[in-house]
Amino acid sequence: MDTDDIWNGLFGGNFEAMARKMEKMFSEMENLRGADVKTYGYTMYRDSDGSRHVKEFGNSVGDREISYGAGEPLTDVSLEDGTIRAIAEIPGVLKEDIVLEGTKSTLSIGVDNGRRKFSKTLALPCDVDPDSAKAEYNNGILEVTLTPIVTPDSKKRISIR
């Protein structure tokens, strides 16, 4: 299937059809008001003493009918002060539901507790010692620290033929 077939299938092959569909979608959204509109989100921050906090917001906080389905948690991986730090936002699960698996170059995070399902494999910025992994889960934030494998730069003389 080429791009023209995709374009024709989605928008009838012209910009006017696309514009009409978008106008219809915006009109339908404008008619949503009050209880019809569900919002949900959370912010994460550290206070001055370094404690992590998660604060929910929106009009559907605590609404158990919201379906999250399968997906990927938001993640961040960094190398700071000789430590690999992987952080994943996994709200609403118990630490017992989280499965972590590590290799020298990846960290896999998974949750499947019947109500929530998350999975993601992170590529690490350098090789690590999986046995050095330390994980902490607090207020929906999973933090895993790993120690990089340090291989000394060795200088070797190369013979020329």
Q: 130-160: per-residue pLDDT in tens?
A: 999 999 999 889 999 999 998 777 788 889 9
Q: What is the pTM of this model?
A: 0.54
> How would you label 94-124 residue by residue, b for 16+ Cβ within 10 Å and e otherwise?
eeebbebebeeeebebbbeeeebebebebeb
What CATH class is the domain 68-148?
mainly beta
Average pLDDT over residues 72-101: 90
Domain boundaries, the chain: 3-31, 68-148
Q: Do the beta carbons of residue 106 and residue 126 sit within 8 Å?
A: no
